[in-house]
Amino acid sequence: MKTGVAELISDRMDSMPAGERRAAQALIAGYPVVGLKTVAEFSQVAGVSSPTILRFVARLGFHNYPEFQAALQDELAAQLQSPASRAGLPQPSRRGGVPPTVEATLENIHETFRHVSEKQIADMVTLLSNPKAAVFLIGGRFTDPVAHYMAAHLTIIRPNVLHLAGQESNWRDRLIDMGKRDVLLIFDIRRYQESLARFAEKAHQRGVHIILFTDQWLSPIARFARHVVVGRTAVPSPWDSSAALFVVAETLIGELTRRLEADSARRIGEMEGLR
């Protein structure tokens, strides 16, 4: 699978001048629709000049604006696919006895970490290690098990961790406990869950730091997120795979445990003593 536009932005963001960075942020906030507008409309949304938009597109590796828009249109078509529409796609043959889904999953993990920088991981760990912050986790229909899994680990190594389960009304009740120090981790892949987007917007309005774990086509929640982790999810199956997101979650768990080494060791020891 080709590198997505969001992944290209992640790879090149640090090297962009201020104007191009604003263009990138505007695109992520309205992905991919903003990029499907004319150059003049895109520049107006981003608050930069039209030549800046064209330089931004060139920095991403596209020869011209139509080529950039064609890539976004392909992504939009993929984003809207359902399991039913993918069921009839041709399946690749096995190589060396390894099922194609396994090969694709390993490639997804590799590609995911090619676009997640050490700095981004360190910045997320810093947010999660704040002892004054509460950490909330939530996921969609198929990704909530990842949120639950991560919450189970974080609860062991630090206090004030809560997995938001049940109905949307239960999530909204928790908003009253969320403030500007707190962190909300959201897992959302195609087809994106509107209830999660509504909840993320409310949390964003309360100043909560949102970390979004999504796919290469970007959940609409990206416009509210402080950090967006793009995980590859497509495999030769009607169903997307969350394996790469699990590995990202485990990486953050491991790094946070090391960051909180003394506190987490003491906490784990006390828990063992209570069993």
Per-residue pLDDT at 2 = 79
Structure tokens at 44: 């107006």
Residue that the structure tokens 């120090």 belong to: 181
pLDDT, residue 224, reads 97
Domains of the chain: 5-81 (1.10.10.10), 103-274 (3.40.50.10490)
User: What is the rounded CA–CA span in Å between residue 131 and residue 55?
Assistant: 42
Average pLDDT per run of 10 along the chain, which is 275 residues long? 88 94 95 96 97 97 97 90 65 71 94 93 97 96 96 96 91 93 96 94 97 95 96 92 97 96 87 83
The pLDDT score that the predictor gives to residue 81 is 80
DSSP conformation letters of the chain: -PPPHHHHHHHHGGG--HHHHHHHHHHHHTTTGGGGS-HHHHHHHHTS-HHHHHHHHHHTT-SSHHHHHHHHHHHHHHHT--HHHHTTSPPPPPBTTB-HHHHHHHHHHHHHHHHS-HHHHHHHHHHHT-TT--EEEEE-TTTHHHHHHHHHHHHHHSSSEEE--S-HHHHHHHGGG--TT-EEEEE--SSPPHHHHHHHHHHHHTT-EEEEEE-TT--GGGGG-SEEEE-----SSSS---HHHHHHHHHHHHHHHHHTHHHHHHHHHHHHHH-
- Residue count (the chain): 275
Which of these, 104, 50, 59, lies nearest to 237 by C-alpha position?
104
* Identity at 250, one-letter amino acid code: E
